[in-house]
Amino acid sequence: MATINVWARLQEALDQEVCSLIVLSRPRDKQQAETSKISIRPVQLKEGLQYQFVRRVGGQEFHENRDRAETVKEIETLFPETYGDLHLYTTNFDLTARVQKGNKLRVKQKSPSHAPEEVTEHNRSKQYLIPEGVPCPFLHEIGVMTPEGKVRASRYHKFRQINRFLELVNDVVPSLPSQGLLNIVDFGCGKSYLTFALHHLLTNIQRREVNIVGLDRRDDVIQTCKHVASELDCDGLAFQKGDIQHYEPGTKIDMAVSLHACDTATDEVLAQAIAWDAEVILAVPCCQHEVAGLLPKEVQRPLTQHGILKERYAALVTDALRAKMLEAAGYQVQIVEFIDMEHTAKNLLIRAVKIERKPQVLKRRREEYQRYREELGLPELALERLLKATKFDA
């Protein structure tokens, strides 16, 4: 009976064109499934409404468009045989179907969590999660928009940066707990433009309850952020003076964010987030001095004899090692391009999502990390030491 309900509701959503997103996840046989998750979104093409299947394989993303009938048929072949979870998001309702032990199907339906949105069109002008021309209180408060929603010319770079960040966060929202309060910590929040953007995305667009804490060591910055949050009446957003080493959340952290941490401060954030078993980690590293000072002179001589090349090489090595260590800790990692931060030329974001991996896979990732570090002639690095201090087996 539950199976009939799933397909009836899916067909209804497609027939009425109210479907905003379908996600297939939790592979039942990881050897058989080509990817851990498939996302399906409506797209408007010349030939009419289609549904775009998005698969991530390795570091690449593959898109495939299908019509309504083909979409239903394809989903029927994938669920529940290949994937154990089906999430259907519409403007009328949300539906989750999960295969349990004994192949029993549990189906839940609740009120919609996705706000109505236009169907994506190919080859159109860039559409932002916070569109231009629509008043946004926090963007007005920080001077990016006028009260009427017009983006100030001198702040357009910041407007694009905020929307790019929201795109990167929005992609991993399905990896966060689907119900209940989301607990998030932003370490070194600075002026908190992106912290306010994150709050806007999760509360106003995704309609989630949140508890976001922004931390920074500078008291003047924290006082400014508190004032803005009070002016905007941001429920679930708080700011505290402090640092990661002394912060005690008192609850499970779902997402850890670090967009301004320099050098090994990024490693402190990563180590703490891993120790907390955070579902999602977002970090924009900068000033990777540790590895630059430890590289043996004979290693990659043409790259290390020139200061600027050595700096960039060390930065890439550092983030590659961080990514490998995150994989060893059970995360699926992407390093994606991010619009340059205001005070640094670094433009890479480490995006890590917690996934289930077999112990032997984690062991192999640790060995790969160790082998790569030793090939470079590097000693034990800050991230390893910090993880050992948290009792994580690095």
Residue pair 354/254 in contact (Cβ under 8 Å)? The answer is: no
Return the half-sphere exposure (C-beta side, CA atoms, 13 A cut-off) of residue 261: 24
Q: CA end-to-end span of the chain, whole Å?
A: 48
Tell whether the model's pLDDT for residue 149 goes beyond 50: yes
Strands of 122-279, DSSP E: 182-187, 210-216, 237-241, 255-258
Q: Which of 186, 125, 187, 117 is nearest to 160 (CA)?
A: 125
What's the pLDDT at 59? 62
The pLDDT tens digits for 60-92 are 678 888 999 999 999 999 999 999 999 999 888
SS (H, E, C) 38-53: EEEEEEEECCEEEEEE
* Residue of higher predicted confidence among 344 and 81: 81
- pLDDT band at 285, cuts 50/70/90? confident
How does pLDDT run across 249-269, given as a tens digit for each residue?
Answer: 889 999 999 987 777 888 999
Domain ranges of the chain: 2-110, 137-389
pLDDT at 209: 95
- Angle among Cα 379, 382, 387 to the nearest 5 degrees reads 115
Does residue 2 carry a pLDDT above 50? no
Query: What are the tens digits of pLDDT across the range 104-114?
Result: 999 999 888 76
pLDDT mean over 237-242:
93
What is the pLDDT, as a whole number, of residue 252?
A: 94
Contact 267, 383 (CB under 8 A): yes
Q: How large a percentage of the chain has pLDDT more than 70?
A: 90
pLDDT band for position 123 (50/70/90)? very low
User: 307-328 vs 265-275: helix axis angle to the nearest 10?
Assistant: 10
What percentage of the chain exceeds 90 in pLDDT?
Answer: 52
SS3 98: strand
- Kindly tell me if the per-residue pLDDT of 44 is higher than 80: no
How many whole angstroms separate alpha carbon 384 and alpha carbon 292?
17
Q: How confident is the model at residue 213 (pLDDT cuts 50, 70, 90)?
A: very high
CATH class of domain segment(s) 137-389: alpha beta
374-390 pLDDT tens trace: 998 999 999 999 998 88
Q: Quick one: pLDDT at residue 58?
A: 67
What is the model's pTM?
Answer: 0.67
Is 305's pLDDT higher than 80?
no
> Which token pair is 391?
């009792």
Task: With residue 304 as reference, give the H or E element that holds it.
Answer: helix 301-304
Give the residues across from 99 on adjacent strands: 105
